[in-house]
Structure 1
Amino acid sequence: MKHTSNRRVGVVVAVLSGLALTAATSTAAHADDHTDTRPDVIAHRGSSGMAPENTAAAIDLAIDQHADFVEIDVQRTKDGTLVNFHDCTMERTTNIEEIYPGRPRYRVSDFTWTELRRLDAGSWFHPDHTGERLITVDHVISRIDHTRTGLLAEISPCGHYTDIATDLAENLRNKPRYLRRALAREQLAVQSFQTDDARQFHTHLPHIPIGLLDADRPTDTELTELSTWADQVNPQHTVTDQALVDRIHQLGMDTNVWTVNEPGTMREMAALGVDGIITDYPQSLTQP
């Protein structure tokens, strides 16, 4: 199922836990698209240039700024709760060393959700955000559900996790009503830097669009192989040019570039015909 641009028309039917899900998908070629050429605006960790990343404040601000998607990062606590957090350790954006001094490690997976709920995840950004808490994936979904803003969930590449792609698939599988709405509106996709995680998620929920993140320019061999099962190739904007965008589209995939914060680069990427722009400042693209 191809995703991100709301510019293709078609229908795919998937069965999830015995429930038939009908979702609008895209099948027409990019060359035939003439109705909407604006890239999707994807708020990187929420509106993270204006609020502390991956908090409710950043998610809510992205919604208020009319972002098409919020991009989040999925990690797992010691007791199995899926949490929205980016770094492999928590010192940079929380007061975890103050609350739990002397711990041997400060990874999300070393703490229970009850422990993590005590952390301040906002004061590092600005005193006005003192007291902002970490939030779960479920909390993110509850905030965007019934809005025009969709979800792009990144499976954490932190190497100490196993089966986190399966856990995310199970979490989404247990939300059939949300899935039905999100897929029908083309408001859900998953991405990963790790090919194994992306394929594992795709095996569990093949009807949810799956993308591969890449900091380097993918080779044509890699693109051709990915086109047999992936829906998106999402490269760093610094390695993206017209030839790469055209080749990804030729192979039937979409492309979201990251992380684009300069207005000039935003215009450059839009001119290339990318399907989405991942940015810390979604208002730069959504507001006149």
Structure 2
Amino acid sequence: MPPHAYARFVAILATLTTILGPAAINPAHASTGAASADLSVAAPSASVSRPILGESFTLSGSLGASVSRVVRLERYHDGAWLPVQKQTAATSGHYSFGVTQSSWRTRWRVLAPGVERQGQSWPMRVTEPRTLFGQPQAVTTSMARSVRAGSAVRINLFAAPARPGRVLTLQRDSGDGWENVANLTTGATGHATYVFRTREVAKTRFRTVARAHQGAPAFVGSSAAVYALGGRPVGVMAWRGDSGSYPENTLDAFRSAVRERADFIEMDFQPTADGEWVLVHDGDFRRTTDVEARFPERRTASPREFTLAEVQSLDAGSWMGPQFRGVRVPTIEETFDAIDAAERLHGHRVRLVVELKGESAAEMRALYRKVVSLRPDWVSRKGHGDKAIFMSFDASHFDFPGAERTGMETVAVKDEPDPADLYDQDFTQVHIHTRLLEAALVDRYRGKGAEVGTWPAVGTASVLRAAVAGVDYVTTDDVAGARRALLH
């Protein structure tokens, strides 16, 4: 800038300062009334570090010793500092203002205008700004997911941000709506506890309501449930093996089911074009293998249209994750051998639900004969507690010549709501789809002498709902998780 232009700029600036005051030239000092403000004073302290929207709290501090004078609390808004409150500070310079968090971000400062008294001057003093960010509320209720009926449940309540002395109301719902259980007062950490004693086999939901506190509005937390289980144990059936951790219907999935101490393993069999039996659930291989890459022209073909060699050339693991690349579709012989070896290794006996994903009673008869030929001691003519029992979605598949003399244990499936009572013949087990599951239906089939299972019990809540409904078995993809939930 040329010297004459700079001189002109300084002259204009001096004129503006004289007419408008320094606040117009320096917006950061807007409303101070002087350019010589001392900004070395510490920012005000807040009684809460992260206020809740609507919450009242205090801003306090000291501007330093001086004469008693009026001090102002100011809030920054739309580019300027605006006065909010004022009070008279004593000679110590201490101040304390009560404020409310009205937005997610607030910026405060405290200012003492300059004064002259009895020939003495005390310059203006102003604090550094204090920025406070609002905090959303969170309220949680936690407890054990399952207990034995009649035992005590320790319920943990928590409200954040923590406010000592805030009242938390614990509510419960046993199916008839929410009712208050207890009013509890939080400590410095925002926690409170309550012990509830269950009385009967049932699901009970709990939730916490944080009552209004210091201007902060009441807040209702989400619910959590505890399931009180009966004394009769509920068995765990591995759905296509331990299929939450390993590719379904594979040797690793079956080995894991034994290792995790499943009571049953459910498995799906289909015949190949050359008369062998392989493990596969779907009507084609697309979902669980690379058939579309290896046999694109036959990608929708049934497993019955592939030879055993073709089936075992497929990759049955990569669909679940690269760590399972190269896993193969096993044969019935490989499956039984792997289960035998796993039982010896882990000292645990597991029973098998052998499901025909088939088309006729003739195929069921062929599968039955194959199982008996491989493991004669797995199927008895008494039909009680056999290691291998047989399942089909079509009850007519059990009606093959001589079936009544085999003593085979059979499993029926109910996955449609109608008719209400589908099965007239005797079944060892009836498996009910979870969407149809209710205690009355379980009681109906148990009254016929059948054990009742449900599928797919995926997730802890689904497993526990089934247990409360009174089933004998849950079919799940997470054996270890189900066993923990069922208190095994």
Is the pair's TM-score, using the shorter chain for normalization, greater than 0.5?
yes
What secondary structure does 1:120 align onto?
Answer: coil
After superposition, the C-alpha distances for 1:173-221 in whole angstroms (9 at most, x for unaligned) are 21313436xx775432111111111333981664221011121135454
Structure 1 position 197 matched with structure 2 position 394: no
8 A contact 1:91–1:106 mirrored in 2: no
Q: What CA distance in whole angstroms lies between the structure 2 residues aligned with 1:143 and 1:150?
A: 14
Gaps (5+ residues) in structure 1?
Answer: 1-34
> Which residue of 212, 216, 225 maps to 2:412?
212
Structure number with bigger Rg: 2
Aligned to 1:107: 302
Structure 1 position 172 matched with structure 2 position 375: no
Letter in 1 for 2:390: V
Q: CA distance change for structure 1 residues 205 and 138 in 2, over 3 Å: closer, same or farther?
A: farther
Q: CA distance change for structure 1 residues 53 and 221 in 2, over 3 Å: closer, same or farther?
A: closer
8 A contact 1:235–1:258 mirrored in 2: yes
Structure 1 position 282 matched with structure 2 position 479: yes
8 A contact 2:372–2:378 mirrored in 1: no
Aligned to 1:151: 352
Q: Higher strand proportion, which one?
A: 2
Q: CA distance change for structure 1 residues 128 and 76 in 2, over 3 Å: closer, same or farther?
A: same
8 A contact 1:122–1:130 mirrored in 2: yes
Aligned to 1:70: 265
Aligned to 2:74: none
After superposition, the C-alpha distances for 1:44-88 in whole angstroms (9 at most, x for unaligned) are 011111111101111111111111111101100000111110000
8 A contact 1:77–1:113 mirrored in 2: yes
Q: What CA distance in whole angstroms lies between the structure 2 residues aligned with 1:201 and 1:50?
A: 40
8 A contact 1:50–1:58 mirrored in 2: yes
Aligned to 2:148: none
Structure 1 position 253 matched with structure 2 position 450: yes
Q: CA distance change for structure 1 residues 221 and 102 in 2, over 3 Å: closer, same or farther?
A: closer
Aligned to 2:441: 244
1:30-179 alignment runs, 5 A limit: 37-103=232-298, 105-145=300-340, 146=343, 147-157=348-358, 159=359, 163-174=362-373, 175-179=375-379
Q: What CA distance in whole angstroms lies between the structure 2 residues aligned with 1:134 and 1:272?
A: 36
8 A contact 2:431–2:452 mirrored in 1: yes
Give the stretch that moved more between structures: 141-150 or 46-55.
141-150
Q: What CA distance in whole angstroms lies between the structure 1 residues aligned with 2:255 and 2:274?
A: 27
Letter in 2 for 1:213: V
Deviation (angstroms), 1:134: 0.3
After superposition, the C-alpha distances for 1:129-180 in whole angstroms (9 at most, x for unaligned) are 00100011222222223541111111104x5x67210111110221313436
Aligned to 2:145: none
Q: What CA distance in whole angstroms lies between the structure 2 residues aligned with 1:72 and 1:234?
A: 14
> Which residue of 462, 467, 477 maps to 1:270?
467
Letter in 1 for 2:303: V
Q: What CA distance in whole angstroms lies between the structure 2 residues aligned with 1:265 and 1:98?
A: 36
What secondary structure does 1:235 align onto?
Answer: strand
Gaps (5+ residues) in structure 2?
Answer: 1-229
8 A contact 1:41–1:278 mirrored in 2: yes
Q: Which has the higher contact order (CA 8 A, sep 6+)?
A: 1
Deviation (angstroms), 1:40: 1.4
Q: What CA distance in whole angstroms lies between the structure 1 residues aligned with 2:311 and 2:401?
A: 26
Q: What CA distance in whole angstroms lies between the structure 1 residues aligned with 2:405 and 2:293?
A: 40
What secondary structure does 2:451 align onto?
Answer: coil
Letter in 2 for 1:211: V
Q: Higher helix proportion, which one?
A: 1
What secondary structure does 1:38 align onto?
Answer: coil
What secondary structure does 2:238 align onto?
Answer: strand
Q: What CA distance in whole angstroms lies between the structure 1 residues aligned with 2:263 and 2:274?
A: 32
Letter in 2 for 1:172: V
Aligned to 1:21: none
Deviation (angstroms), 1:97: 2.2
Structure 1 position 235 matched with structure 2 position 440: no
Q: CA distance change for structure 1 residues 129 and 91 in 2, over 3 Å: closer, same or farther?
A: same
Aligned to 2:63: none
8 A contact 1:198–1:211 mirrored in 2: no
Letter in 2 for 1:281: D
